[in-house]
Amino acid sequence: MPTLRDLISDGKPHVLDGAMGTILYGRGVFLNVCYDELSLRQPDLVRDIHRDYVKAGAEAIETNTFGANPLKLAHHGLAAETGAINRAAAQLARDAAGARAAVLGAIGPLGVRIEPFGELGAEEAETAFGAQVDGLLAGGVDGFIIETFSDVEEVRSAITAIRRRSDLPIIAQMTVGTDGKTYYGTGPATFGPLLEAMGADVVGVNCSVGPHGVLDAVEALMPVVTVPISAQPNAGLPREVGDRKIYMASPEYMATYAKRIVEAGARFIGGCCGTTPEHIKEMVAFVKSVRPRHSAAHVVAPELAKPVPTVPLAERSRFGGKLARGEFIRTVEIVPPKGVDPGPMFDQARALKAGGVDAINVPDGPRAQSRMGALLSGLLIQREVGIEAVVHYACRDRNLLGMLSDLLGAAASGVRNLLIVTGDPPKMGPYPDATAVFDIDSIGLANLVHRLNQGLDPGGNAIGAPSKFVIGVGVNPAAVELDRELRRFAWKVDAGAEFAVTQPVFDLDQLDAFLRRVEAFRIPIIAGIWPLVSLRNAEFLANEVPGVTVPPEVLERMRAASAKGKEAALAEGVAIAQEMLAAVKQRVQGAQVAAPLGRAEVAVRVFTG
């Protein structure tokens, strides 16, 4: 019986199997079913697919465990069955392989981002992978195949989990797009040496693109790694037919490319999405006639991009200079228009500039409202009015690639001050059925911006001159789960945050308690100040705006003032804001005052007293 170690050591090309999900779907399994659980619930179905691949000539077959980690299984209420599912899957594959094929324990991504771009820590990721590895080892695998990963650091957690439990060989495969890079922008010349250094016995690519793109990736890997190379392309790019994705590449086409891929240097060739036993059978016939190109005796890996020193905070913007010098900062928040006319926004900004404000805060779709984009609004204010903007940038509406594109453009256009927020969910706004992205949260985005300030993109590629962003984050002293809020705040600071803006403050005792707990972070805090305009406004903030606490005594003051009329209510709201401003001046490094109902003069009154 061949083992994966045997296949690696003999120097010959070998054929792996193809897709599992494609075949299960083709045999009537609905998409809403947990395919990994089928190893327990419909073992004969899974075993028969393995046997079909062995009959087609596959010399190594993968277990039906691509998504069988506890985080993904939890979506189906199956996290507790992680060990049983992986063990059963390995035993099924072992039974089907007999003495004809090696069995590889298949491990896919966790389905969540890990640090630094997600909340899941590297150790937590390793623990999750470990639960899967334990089950696969119990089922008797010959080795492991880590596949379809975009994040090199997530691969590191998976390899670490395996190595702490076993010395069995590992195939580690990344997935690339049509540009030849991972979703994070990492190319084969970069991730190949990294995977080899982590201890992978074979490195390669799979999924995402068809055989043409995989061939390009193999050619890029060849000069930079010394270990064998693997390749498992999709059966071409899928075509949308109704609500189905149909893979169009024929077995003959795939086999022709398999031969080219092996000639280019790959020693392990198979298939991914859309491939079937028929594809593998044709590959076997073609691959037997070729030998992989031998790699050079001495491989020199390309030098990885290194972070460059960040531009000193005081040199990035006037706002950053005041932060660096410890001066009290006065900013005002004005909401961008709902239409295409920026004129009223400019009028507000001019009034605030004349009133001595240091910068204009521009929120990004607050309460999920559809308004003029914050980045463009901030840029227009800077160019038209000549006052700096602090642009709020929300994670709600953009994926990682969109954020990167926006930020590179913003850096080139002169936007310097960012307040990074996760963003309000669409259900709060007028379009509750709109799709929220939340590809990364504010912690991950702070990490992304910090890397840009070091001259690197998320994939570790140099971007030329570093960006000069001043990195701000939001924090809520009135959070219901304050311990969780403080943990997240600590992570934001660790990610590179250089200042923080609070939600509107109406309770000094609450603020003092918060400031005592964050004192160790040594980061400038800017307090949010909201001039109330009426009792109705106060009640709205108290009851309908998450994260804002309005004490009973403030509500009572606004109730009494509102009974005297609108002007009296506004005067009382401004007086309360002025009292809060005077009180926080000795506690924090700045104040962000809202311009209620777009009335810039009200915000100026708060500052001028």
DSSP classification of residue 521: G
Per the structure block, which two tokens stand in for 366? 């607050």
For domain 4-287, the CATH class is alpha beta
Equal fold, 4-287 vs 313-531+588-608? yes
Number of Cβ within a 10 Å radius of residue 82:
24
- Contacts of residue 342, defined as CB under 8 A and 6 or more positions apart, other chains included, come to 336, 372, 377, 380, 384
> Which tens digit of pLDDT belongs to each residue from 265-293?
999 999 998 999 999 999 998 887 777 66
Residue 244: the pLDDT is 52
Beta strands in 122-264 (DSSP E): 143-149, 170-174, 202-206, 229-232, 238-241, 244-247
pLDDT beyond 80 at 79: yes
User: CA torsion 529→535→536→537, rounded to 10°?
Assistant: -10
CB atoms within 10 A of CB 354: 11
| Whole-number pLDDT of residue 296 | 46
The predicted model gives 544-568 an average pLDDT of 91
d(CA 273, CA 279): 11
CA Rg, the chain, in Å? 29
Mean pLDDT of 95-120: 93
pLDDT at 604: 93
119 band by pLDDT with thresholds 50, 70 and 90 = confident
pLDDT digits (tens, 9 = 90+) for 162-197: 999 999 999 999 999 988 999 888 999 999 999 999
Least confident segment among 206-210, 429-433, 455-459: 429-433
Burial class (CB in 10 A: 0-12, 13-18, 19+), 161: buried
Query: Band of the pLDDT at 300, cuts 50, 70, 90?
Result: low
Q: List C-alpha distances in Å: 62 to 4, 18, 83, 579.
A: 11, 9, 17, 67
pLDDT of residue 301: 56
How far from each other are the two terminal CA atoms of the chain, in whole angstroms? 86
**What is the pLDDT at residue 431?**
76
Could you tell me which of 568, 88, 13 has the C-alpha nearest to residue 293? 13
Predicted local distance difference test score (pLDDT) of residue 250: 86
- Is 243 a residue whose pLDDT tops 90? no
For residues 220-247, give the mean pLDDT.
Answer: 78
pLDDT, tens only, 366-393: 877 888 999 999 999 999 999 999 999 9
Quote the pLDDT of residue 22. Answer: 86
What does the alpha-carbon distance between residue 121 and residue 154 come to, in Å, rounded to a whole number?
A: 10
Tokens of 406: 């926006």
CA dihedral 161, 165, 168, 171 (to 10 degrees): -10
Q: What is the share, in percent, of the chain residues with pLDDT greater than 90?
A: 77
Q: What are phi and psi of 66, to 5 degrees?
A: -55, -40
Q: Which residues pair with 80 in a beta bridge?
A: none
pLDDT of residue 460: 85
Give the amino acid at 477: P
Task: State the amino acid at position 308 in one-letter form.
Answer: V
- Mean pLDDT computed over 310-322: 97
Q: Any idea where the domains of the chain sit in the sequence?
A: 4-287, 313-531+588-608
| pLDDT, the chain, mean | 92
- pLDDT at residue 215 is higher than 90: yes
What is the per-residue pLDDT across 244-267, written as a single tens digit (0 to 9) for each?
A: 555 567 889 899 999 999 999 999
pLDDT surpassing 60 at residue 337: yes
Top CATH class, 313-531+588-608: alpha beta
Secondary structure E strands in 207-340: 229-232, 238-241, 244-247, 266-269, 329-333
